[in-house]
Amino acid sequence: MNNTVIVKLMTNLIEKKFYGTKNEAVAKLDVYFAMSRISEEEYATLVLLAETTYAEVPTV
């Protein structure tokens, strides 16, 4: 898989909340980044997407 496919796949999985938590999604991103499958910029963008997608909504 090239990095474009990985980025699209991870974007879709994060947006659909495939992973149970933000930490699970980021852990998967960590693996791709550690193996040089995605760039630092792509990693940062996807981590920010995970943070906003999995942000807890405060209850009132």
Structure token digits, residue 6: 């990985």
Tokens of 51: 């943070």
Domain assignment of residue 41, given as a range: 3-53
Q: Please report, in angstroms and rounded to a whole number, the separation of the first and last CA atoms in the chain.
A: 44
How far is residue 35's CA from residue 13's CA, in Å, rounded to a whole number?
19
Work out how many domains the chain is built from and give that number.
1
Summarize pLDDT for 2-56 with one digit per residue, the tens.
889 999 999 999 999 999 999 999 999 999 999 999 999 999 999 999 999 999 7
Q: Is 58 part of a structural domain of the chain?
A: no
Measure the CA–CA gap between 11 and 17, rounded to whole angstroms.
Answer: 10
Q: Is residue 59 part of a domain?
A: no
Q: Is residue 46 classed exposed, middle or buried when 0-12, 13-18 and 19+ CB atoms within 10 A define those classes?
A: buried
For residue 58, what are its two tokens? Answer: 């405060």
Write down the pLDDT at residue 22. Answer: 96
